Amino acid sequence: MPGDLERAAGLLGAARRVVVFTGSGISAESGVPTFRDDLTGLWARFDAERLATPEAFDADPDLVWGWYEWRRARARAAEPNAGHRAVAAVEARLPGTTVVTQNVDDLHERAGSRDPIHLHGSLFAPRCTAPAGHPAAFPAGGTEPDEGRRIPPPRCASCGAPVRPGVVWFGEALPVAAFSAAVDAATACDVLLSVGTSGVVYPAAEIPRIAAITGAAVVQVNPEPTPMDELYAANLRGTAAAVLPALVAAAWPGERG
Ligand code: BV8
């Protein structure tokens, strides 16, 4: 690891254009479970990849809406961690840094990241299920949903259709503008930091691969090996909240974080 940290710090310190690509692992130390962690409690009998689909919502909208309201409450109760703050520090040090996240929480924004690209949408942007898909509002107030509660989705104020979570489900296309901006940033960067992702969900998992094949140095931060290990210039084995602040401090020594 020390060799890798020094190599990664040298790459980041000399970088002109940086992309930070994040997955649910960066929010783990904020208490937001990763996507492939076993679901806890009442949700343990469900498979997240089965719940995060249009079919699940069509079959049981109250169950799926209840799951997302529980996750939204968890995300709202969470605080950004040192990993999120280190990403914002890279943006502050290197204007033009692009943050691309697969996450649907708002922890990057709350840590100070200006305009992260959300490839998979957001827990905080519900929308009408009618083809227009216009934005919808959450019901005012409402109790903090407890885990496993079925909650009927609200109705759209404009047309009365059910409201759905503003996320990209399995089998749904990613927002074209978001994915296109992420591909452009990955192609133009000279360093990409890949943080807290298993790299198994496509097409998002293409982003670090595009950076690597177009000549960028990719630095991975993850406590576990991933399928992309051999692709990368440096593999920093550790958690986001521990490794990212150390990487930023080593990349720009003597500068306040
Ligand atoms: C698409 C939003 C085509 C919802 C998510 C059959 C039919 C259709 C498509 C497919 C198919 N078979 C395969 C596919 C493609 C499919 C796919 O990739 N499936 C995988 C499972 C094989 N992809 C899709 O369906 C995509 N759409 O292909 O559409 C199309 C085209 C045109 C027109 C119509 C259709 C859509 C995929 C998006 C799904 N939505 N999220 C929600 O959140 O509920 S994906 C979900 O996975 C999350 O966004 C999550 O971020 C993402 C990726 O997972 P990770 O972030 O990597 O999380 P994971 O738990 O896996 O890993 C965490 C990592 O962190 C681990 O490595 C762990 O070691 C590490 N870690 C843990 N703690 C820490 C840490 N790291 C650092 N610090 C720590 N403390």
Q: Could you tell me the mean pLDDT of each successive run of 10 residues in the chain, 257 residues long?
A: 85 98 96 74 72 95 94 94 98 97 98 97 94 77 71 92 95 97 98 95 97 97 91 94 98 77
CATH of residue 190's domain is 3.40.50.1220
Q: Are residues 139 and 228 in the same domain?
A: no
How many A from CA of 143 to the centre of ligand 1?
29
Give the Cα separation of 108 and 97 in Å (integer).
13
Task: Specify whether 207 is located in the same domain as 240.
Answer: yes
Q: Residue 159 belongs to a domain with what CATH number?
A: 3.30.1600.10
Cα–Cα distance for residue pair 160/232, rounded to 1 Å: 49
φ and ψ of 179, to 5 deg:
-65, -40
| pLDDT at position 110 | 98
The predicted structure's pLDDT at residue 116: 98
Q: Ligand 1: does its nearest atom lie under 6 Å from the Cβ of 212? A: no
Same domain, residue pair 254 and 204: yes
Compute the CA torsion angle 15, 16, 17, 18 (nearest 10 deg): 30
| Domain-ending residue, one of 108, 137, 167 | 167
Instruction: Note whether 139 and 252 are same-domain residues.
Output: no
Tell me, what's the pLDDT at 257? 47
Question: Residues 92, 215: one domain?
Answer: yes
Q: Which of 102, 134, 167 is the last residue of a domain?
A: 167
* Claim to verify: residue 102 and residue 178 sit in the same structural domain: yes
> Which of 68, 201, 236 most suits a substitution to test ligand 1, by most atoms within 8 Å of the C-beta?
201
Q: Is 120 a catalytic residue?
A: yes
Residues 215 and 227 reside in one and the same domain: yes
Pairing state of beta strands 163-167 and 98-101? unpaired
Other Cβ atoms less than 10 A from the Cβ of 78: the count is: 17
Instruction: Say yes or no: 205 and 130 in one domain.
Output: no
Q: Is the CB of 240 under 6 A from ligand 1?
A: yes
Q: For ligand 1, atom 9, which residue shows the shortest CA distance?
A: 171
CA of 181 to the centre of ligand 1 (A): 19
Range of the domain at 211: 1-31+80-120+173-257
- 255 Cα–ligand 1 center, Å: 36
pLDDT score recorded for residue 246: 97
Residues 93 and 112 in one domain: yes
pLDDT at residue 43 in the model: 63
Predicted TM-score (pTM) above 0.75: yes
